[in-house]
Amino acid sequence: MPLTRILVADDEESMRWVLSKALKRKGFSVDLASDGRQALSMIQDGSYDLAILDIKMPGITGLDLLDKIREQKKDLLVVIMTAEASMKNAVEAMKRGAYDYITKPFDLDVIDAIIEKVGRAREVAGQVSMLKQELKERYQVEKNIIGNSPVMREVYKTIGKVAGSDVTVLVQGESGTGKELVARAVHFNSGRLGKPFVAINCAAIPKELLESELFGSEKGAFTGSVERKLGKFEQANLGTLFLDEIGDMPLDLQAKILRVLQEREVTRTGGNQSIPVDVRIVAATNQALAEKVRLKEFREDLFYRLNVVPINLVPLRERREDIPLLVQYFLNRVCAEMDIPLKQCTDETIALLTGYPWPGNVRELENAIKRAVILSNDLLLTPADFHGLESAPGMELTVSQEASLEALVDSKLRSCLQGIEHLENGEIHSIVLQQVERPLIRIILEKTRWNQVKAADILGINRNTLRKKISELGIELKRD
């Protein structure tokens, strides 16, 4: 963001002339205004990087013009000039948002120094803006929380509604469903973007240490405390604090958390000074907090403080239609991170992954994809690359296997029926049934060592029907 265009507004023609000559020699484009109203009109119609304004001008004073600039052109940096070197003028100018303040008469070296300082400030502002945009893009909901199922669309809507406010959010769901991703999406799509996002897992820290982790501690507060330590609340000041697995927090600590939420201040362990904090809370749990409240294992008043806006994440097995999207997302990410050619899954593999119940939810799926990508030497991942997910031996079909089979059949049918317009009316049903029945009956016969009585029992049809189908489908009978 280089500094290129400057506006100089002063009712003294000599001052305008001197500044214009000096700035143009340095390669800047300079526009001149002789009073406040002309300057305001030029600022509204043009695009400037810096405005140098005299504090006393006819029409609109420099300070009043500064107020209007702050309302209409927040990114425009303003330097105020005055012939009265009073503290009142300096304080007032800076209080209203001036970038700097100089007193007439001044050497041109002063202007050079200010221009250099403004250039550095704009460079830093540009870097911060890029960083904010990068962070926002990184945690955009649609890029990091993957899924197009109805339940996930409701989650997206809720995040969009609450992100812009400071209401407390409670995210509930099984381990591995992406609760922290939701918390980050709330933070990085809020007005607190660019401020700290601090996470703490309440279940991972011993009870005796959790309080000092949250609220901080003074030097000498306990054995081994050799210096003052800021707690998570102070670290997250002006930002968001993510309290993960809050259902595991001890009752006595719950009372202190409630007080912080009510009073918006903390007291470090071993200290007696109240420290104000401005923190948005997003809490998460894999437990049924309402049930814990009923059992007196969680404070009711804290529950209602946290449960202002609940976001419930369903387990992956209840949104199986999102699994192919997740698989592709993780394949793209893992292969990019490893800087290797993109790997893909076969239809059979997608069917297997879609049918598996995923007790560890999205996190387990991600780890499975990562492991398969690392261990496989092929660009095409097959079911054999996902050890442990294959169907268990035996003839019974589990719910997950049924889903896997349905997904596989669906995939194959869509592929085979590309030329549906070339088929005669009434052909599709019989053709598909034959293609499914023939391999099914042949497989069952093979597994029963061609015993037609056993095969008929497994298939759930009588023996005569089986013999008729063997004949109609042209299945060749074999003997071991």
- 396 has a pLDDT exceeding 60: no
pLDDT in tens, 306-328: 999 999 999 999 999 999 999 99
Mark whether 278 and 228 lie in a shared domain.
yes
Q: Is the domain of 69 the same as that of 32?
A: yes
The whole-number pLDDT of residue 305 equals 93
The verdict on residue 445 lying in a domain is yes
Mean pLDDT (the chain) is 83
For the chain, what is the domain count?
Answer: 4
Q: Which has more confidence, 271 or 37?
A: 37
Strand partners, 53: 9, 80
pTM here is: 0.55
Q: Which of 84-93, 165-174, 449-458 has the lowest mean pLDDT?
A: 84-93
Joined tokens for residue 413: 């049918």
Residues 203 and 296 in one domain: yes
In a domain? residue 477: no
Name the residue with higher pLDDT: 403 or 234: 234
Would you state the pLDDT for residue 53? Answer: 92
Q: What's the confidence (pLDDT) of residue 372?
A: 94
Domain assignment of residue 386, given as a range: 317-414
- CATH number of domain containing 40: 3.40.50.2300
Q: Does residue 448 fall inside a structural domain?
A: yes
Picking from 414, 432, 463, the residue at the C-terminal end of a domain is 414
Query: Same structural domain for residues 343 and 386?
Result: yes
At how many degrees (to 10) do helices 399-416 and 347-355 cross?
Answer: 150
Residue 480: inside a domain, yes or no?
no
Does residue 109 surpass a pLDDT of 80? yes
Does the pLDDT of residue 115 top 50, yes or no?
yes
The predicted pLDDT at position 420 comes to: 52
Residue 214: the pLDDT is 92
Dihedral angle, C-alpha 22, 27, 28, 34, nearest 10 ° = 40
* Amino acid identity at 102: I
CATH assignment at residue 429: 1.10.10.60
Domain match, 68 and 155 both: no
Q: Using CB atoms within 10 A of its CB, is residue 153 exposed (0-12), middle (13-18) or buried (19+)?
A: exposed
Q: What is the pLDDT of residue 397?
A: 43
Judge if 52 and 14 occupy the same domain. yes
CA separation for the pair 204, 213 (Å, rounded):
12
Q: What is the Rg, in whole angstroms, of the alpha carbon atoms belonging to the chain?
A: 34
Write down which residue in 84, 110, 134 finishes a domain. Answer: 134
Ranges 79-83, 178-182, 303-307: which has the least confidence: 79-83
Return d(Cα 224, Cα 446) in angstroms, integer. 71
Indicate if 162 and 267 belong to the same structural domain. Answer: yes
* Cα torsion 262, 264, 269, 272: sign: negative
375 shares a domain with 442: no
Examine residue 175 and state whether it is found in any structural domain, yes or no.
Answer: yes
**Residue 390 shares a structural domain with residue 465:** no
Contact 224, 263 (CB under 8 A): no
Q: pLDDT > 90: what percent of the chain?
A: 35
Domain holding 176: CATH number?
3.40.50.300
pLDDT band at 405 (very low <50, low <70, confident <90, very high): low
Give the pLDDT of residue 142.
Answer: 46
Q: Which residue has the tokens 């250099």?
A: 116
Provide the pLDDT for residue 9. 92
Q: Which of 299, 314, 329 is the last residue of a domain?
A: 314
Position 108 in a domain: yes
pLDDT at residue 70, as a whole number:
86
User: Is 24 in the same domain as 117?
Assistant: yes
The CATH number assigned to the domain holding 402 equals 1.10.8.60
Q: Are residues 279 and 171 in the same domain?
A: yes
Residue range 117-146, pLDDT digits in tens: 887 777 766 665 665 555 555 545 445 688
Q: Are 65 and 38 in contact (CB under 8 A)?
A: no
Q: What is the mean pLDDT of residues 353-381?
A: 92
Mean pLDDT of the region 371-397: 74
12 within domain boundaries: yes
Helices (H), ranges, 170-306? 179-188, 207-215, 232-235, 251-263, 289-294, 300-306
Greatest mean pLDDT among 49-58, 85-94, 212-221, 303-312 lies in 303-312
Identify whether the C-beta of residue 181 lies closer than 8 Å to the C-beta of residue 144. yes
Residue 416: pLDDT band (50, 70, 90) is low
Reply yes or no on whether the pLDDT at 421 is more than 70: no
Does residue 142 form part of some domain?
no
Report pLDDT for 442. Answer: 84
Same-domain pairing of 302 and 344:
no
The pLDDT assigned to 134 comes to: 55
What's the CA gap between 339 and 342, in Å, rounded?
9
